[in-house]
Chain A
Amino acid sequence: QVQLQESGPGLVKPSGTLSLTCTVSGDSISSNNWWTWIRQSPEKGLEWIGEMHHSGTTMYNPSLKSRVTISVDKSKNQFFLKLNSVTAADTAVYYCASADNYVTVYWGQGTLVTVSS
């Protein structure tokens, strides 16, 4: 059974950088899956942020592309999200997930990140 767990600060200051880690168990980061970040807020609903394959290929939501970086650490079986220049609009529950053949099956439990001074 694949399990994903998000971790990181729950509070980020405006104009700062949001950094989250997703730890994967039950599967290898080096598998053929795409490692995905999704967020959810009352204002925007569910929003796909982007994904990365262990080969290094990344795809980002154009609305966030200038501020987002997704990366992986194969040695730790983890992948990461960095979102720069955050504002209150980036306050959301952030989920990590895995996608196989265009199907996102496994999700983490989600972590709330609040942008506030």
Chain B
Amino acid sequence: QSALTQPASVSGSPGQSITISCTGSSSDVGGYKYVSWYQQHPGKAPKLMIYEVSNRPSGVSNRFSGSKSGNTASLTISGLQAEDEADYYCYSYTSSRIYVFGTGTQVTVL
């Protein structure tokens, strides 16, 4: 099972919106609603930001939103803030009954 493909880096200015893509196949992202997104700051464990493609856990800012089209899922961060600077990973259930992570995207706030 290959890792899902994400851009290595995305950047934006404070207040702007950015979108991170996560491309898989019909055996993972395209085949299930079980796509999550995690935020990871240096030295910390990943934090769940989005689950089931577009649902936000309690306590996560509504500036974070998720969507999916075909085999590609996307995470959008609106109103970019300095605290959003981190690594972001997508995560999907697969037809093999296992899970796979994305390659990770480093978000930089300019």
Contacts and interface: CB of A to CB of B under 8 A. Distances in A.
- Dominant secondary structure of chain A at its interface with chain B: strand
Contacts, number: 50
Interface string B66-110: 000000000000000000000001010100111111011000000
B4 to A, nearest CB: 10
A104 B91 contact: yes
Interface residues of A, number: 19
A62 B34 contact: no
B83 to A, nearest CB: 19
Contacts of B18: none
A108 B52 CA distance: 22
26 contacts: A45-B3, A45-B89, A45-B103, A45-B104, A46-B46, A46-B89, A46-B91, A46-B101, A46-B104, A47-B101, A48-B98, A48-B99, A48-B100, A48-B101, A59-B97, A59-B98, A62-B1, A62-B96, A95-B45, A104-B48, A104-B91, A104-B99, A105-B48, A107-B45, A107-B46, A108-B45
